Amino acid sequence: MKRKFLFLIAASLLLISSFLRADEGMWIPLLIEKYNIKIMQEKGFRLTAEDIYSVNRACMKDAIVIFGGGCTGELISPEGLLITNHHCGYGMIQRHSTLENDYLTNGFWAMDRSQELPNEGLTVTFLRRMEDVTAEVLKGVSDDIPETERDKIISQNIAAIRKKAEAEGTGFSIQIRPFFMGNQYFLFMNETFRDVRLVGAPPSSIGKFGGETDNWVWPRHTGDFSLFRIYADKNNKPAEYSKDNVPYKPVYYFPISLKGVKEGDFTMVFGYPGSTNQYVPSYHIDMVRNYINPKMIEIRTHKIEIMEKAMAADRLVRLQYASNKSGLANSWKRWIGENQGIDRLEVIARKKAYEERFTNWVNGDRERIQKYGNILPAYKELYDHLRIYQLVNSYTSEVLNGAAAFGISRRINTLSEMVRGNTEQRIIDEMRNNLLRVTGAIFRDYNMKVDMDIFVVVMDLYGKNMPSEWQSPGYKKVYAMCKGDFRTLAGRIYQTSPFTDEARFTAFIKNFSKKSLKVLDQDVFFILGKDFNEFIANNVREELSSLNNRLQQLNRIYMKAQMEFEKDKVFYPDANSTLRVAYGQVQGYFSRDAVYFTHYTTLKGIIEKDNPEIYDYDVPQKLRDLYRTRDFGRYTQNGEVPVCFVANNHTTGGNSGSPVINAEGHLIGINFDRAWEGVASDMAFNPEQSRNISLDIRYALFIIDKFAGAGYLLKEMTIIE
């Protein structure tokens, strides 16, 4: 009986898997009517393409923003209330946090609008209109003109299109972006708001529950959300921060559904995916997998370990380095998963097999041989040359961005050049005062011991991983001077350099003169920072730029060739931080042999993970109490509070914070991650395991209402029971 039961489970899962085929693609909203709406409706979508994108009436696109330049956010009330991920708002939450008001640890909730916190530099951007301008951009361009002439014509055409669009007088900013590697172009009219205030954020023990341990992993139990409000002037137009500004009145905002999700439900992710490489040759993936990622993983591993050790021992250090470490770890873990996915899916071998079929097609026609016969050999030659330049550039940047003392030393470059060049004293004084004004901010998230440990490890790794002929002259001199003993060197220079201590830096700037130039010329951080940058500028940047320009040309031709090779296929463009639609269905998956993950998690799983001895799993006492008393309110499914769910929508970085929308156009979740097994989907989508991870909106409302006691916010939302 038991065997028969297990067989039936396996058979039903197989049936579900065959029915719920993942829909690969990040689709252009303007073209949904042409390419996708019928398929979407067959999968359960009950609205129209105009409900998604329209310039004639309010629609979903009017409720979606680029949040801060790297995430997505969505409006959930007529009063400009916006929800995005906790990790998207993390930098702002950290900036407002102090030891006295530790919002990272304790959370923050504005109990009325007067308590909402402004965020200097934070913006949100709406897409107001997009238009296919391919014909205008490529006017006068043909396949037989030189590349420089092509670029010149395109630049002139884009300038003319921009001028015409700006003449409409909308006040919107104009972007013209290439798609399909430069085979298609779209114009975007955007509106940016600059007064965006923090409304609420759960404590990190909810918003980052599981920490880096659970990052990129399913099952997941992270309450990854934060709330902001957009403010505008009295005419509902963008304005700089002012106490006189009022909440923005959107033309559209998302209703919120409490109906929940079940296996097979239609889902749509609408947001701003950052970058993918679906159509690159095998040589690119080989470079990433075997040449770049391993070196970058190694150096990040050491930096993260240093930060984690210090953060575990000191609460102030944890506050100082929380955002920095989180940013480092996110890419670090993705690179690891990417490499594993490339290996597991045999992506390089599959690409080579595709290239063999492509070559056979090319060789079947004389005209195709002339147009495309040299593409793959040209790629091989280029990548053989590109690899080292890409590595040196990326690795040197990682070193310079490792120890903060390098970055602090760069702050003085302009002042030192002014003094060397005998600039007018009034201008020098102004520059000096500017530096003094930001000194506190420069050193706010700095700890000397942490920085010193990072300096030692990045110097050691640079010497180990950079071939001698690609090491900077300054590094070689410093290495010789200290005989490779960077630990002893660091112990000395961190006690004397003006760039490793706030008081020394302040005194150095206040008294900066020509005599100070001698100090700079002997300072290891200033010498190395300048030398690394000059080495890249003189030996890497120009050739790397030339190689990348050549690569763009090959990519454009190869993309066009692939579209001819598979003429019956509907292609979607790679992500490029423009608004896209991805659709699919709620669906669990097999992680590995005999291990099947269901599509959702609950608060019960949070309590099961609870461990006060481990920072990432220390559940707040109030959340424990809510679970113990079963005080769940209306936010339950089958007696439990749902927390997260997975679906097979095609997403990537930049989709963080994107709305997850059901068949009726209601908000059911907030996208925040991808499952580890499918992280290589930026280069090879795997329908069996590519899953986007989303916060169930009911958990967000449960935290706002029951945990934070900020239920007043729910009154401005439209909630559908």
Q: Which residues pair with 232 in a beta bridge?
A: 246
Of 73, 77, 100, the closest CA to residue 89 belongs to 73
DSSP assignment letter at 640: B
Quote the pLDDT of residue 592: 86
| Active-site residue, 302 included | no
Please give the CATH architecture assigned to the domain spanning 2-123+194-271+581-594+632-720.
Beta Barrel (2.40)
| Whether the bond into 219 is cis, omega within 30 of 0 | yes
Distance, CA of 409 to CA of 522 (rounded, Å) = 12
Of 372, 361, 114, the closest CA to residue 243 belongs to 114
Distance, CA of 251 to CA of 351 (rounded, Å) = 45
What digits encode the pLDDT tens for the residues 73-84?
999 999 999 999
Whether the pLDDT of residue 105 is over 80: the answer is yes
Buried b (16+ CB within 10 A) or exposed e, 542-577: eebeebeebbebbbbbbbbbbeebeeeeebbbbbbb
Quote the pLDDT of residue 22: 54
Whether the pLDDT of residue 635 is over 80: the answer is yes
| Average pLDDT of span 181-192 | 98
Q: Which residues pair with 457 in a beta bridge?
A: none
Q: Which of 409, 656, 658, 690 is catalytic?
A: 656
The one-letter code for the residue type at 249 is: K
Q: Which two tokens stand for residue 417?
A: 């050049």
| Active-site residue, 284 included | no
Q: Which of 51, 54, 62, 87 is catalytic?
A: 87
Q: Which of 224, 451, 453, 501 is catalytic?
A: 224
Q: Say how many C-beta atoms besides its own lie within 10 A of residue 638's C-beta.
A: 8
* DSSP code per residue over 85-127: -HHHHHHHHHHH--SSS-HHHH-EE-SSGGGPEE-TT--EEEE
What is the value of pTM for the model shown?
0.89
Quote the pLDDT of residue 639: 95
Buried b (16+ CB within 10 A) or exposed e, 654-692: bbbbbbbbbbbbbbbbbbbbbbbbbbbbbbbbbbebbbb
Whether the pLDDT of residue 356 is over 90: the answer is yes
Report the percentage of the chain scoring pLDDT > 90. 90
Confidence tier at 323 by pLDDT (50, 70, 90): confident
Least confident window among 15-19, 162-166, 365-369, 657-661: 15-19
Q: For the chain, what is the mean pLDDT?
A: 94
Residue 524 CA, chain-centre distance (Å), reads 33
Do 185 and 201 meet the contact criterion of CB atoms below 8 Å apart?
no
Confidence tier at 20 by pLDDT (50, 70, 90): very low
Distance, CA of 60 to CA of 72 (rounded, Å) = 13
Do 74 and 667 meet the contact criterion of CB atoms below 8 Å apart?
yes
Buried b (16+ CB within 10 A) or exposed e, 379-398: beebbeebbbbbbbeebbeb
Q: Say how many C-beta atoms besides its own lie within 10 A of residue 282's C-beta.
A: 20
Residue-range domain boundaries for the chain: 2-123+194-271+581-594+632-720, 125-193, 282-543
| Average pLDDT of span 17-41 | 82
| CA gyration radius, the chain | 27
What digits encode the pLDDT tens for the residues 256-303?
999 999 999 999 999 999 999 999 999 999 999 999 999 999 999 999
| Average pLDDT of span 576-584 | 98
Whether the pLDDT of residue 577 is over 80: the answer is yes
Helix 375-400 and helix 541-565: axis angle, to 10°? 140
- Scanning 271-314, the segments in alpha helix (DSSP H) are 282-287, 293-313
Q: Say how many C-beta atoms besides its own lie within 10 A of residue 62's C-beta.
A: 19
- Scanning 228-292, the segments in alpha helix (DSSP H) are 282-287
| Average pLDDT of span 122-131 | 98
Do 154 and 138 meet the contact criterion of CB atoms below 8 Å apart?
yes
Distance, CA of 22 to CA of 684 (rounded, Å) = 13
Quote the pLDDT of residue 327: 86
Q: What angle do CA 238, 243, 245 make, to 5 degrees?
A: 30
Quote the pLDDT of residue 615: 87
Quote the pLDDT of residue 421: 87
Quote the pLDDT of residue 212: 84
What digits encode the pLDDT tens for the residues 390-410?
999 999 999 999 899 999 999
Q: Which two tokens stand for residue 558?
A: 């190869």
Phi, psi torsion values for 580, nearest 5 degrees = -135, 160
Place of tokens 């092509």: 150
Phi, psi torsion values for 560, nearest 5 degrees = -60, -40
| Active-site residue, 656 included | yes
| Average pLDDT of span 428-455 | 93
Q: Which residue has the higher pLDDT, 232 or 10?
A: 232
Q: Which two tokens stand for residue 153?
A: 């014509």
Whether the pLDDT of residue 640 is over 80: the answer is yes
| Average pLDDT of span 148-171 | 95
Q: Are strands 184-193 and 124-132 parallel, antiparallel or unpaired?
A: antiparallel
Whether the pLDDT of residue 5 is over 90: the answer is no
Q: Is 23 helix (H, G, I), strand (E, B) or coil?
A: coil
Of 281, 291, 276, 279, the closest CA to residue 381 belongs to 281
Distance, CA of 167 to CA of 156 (rounded, Å) = 17
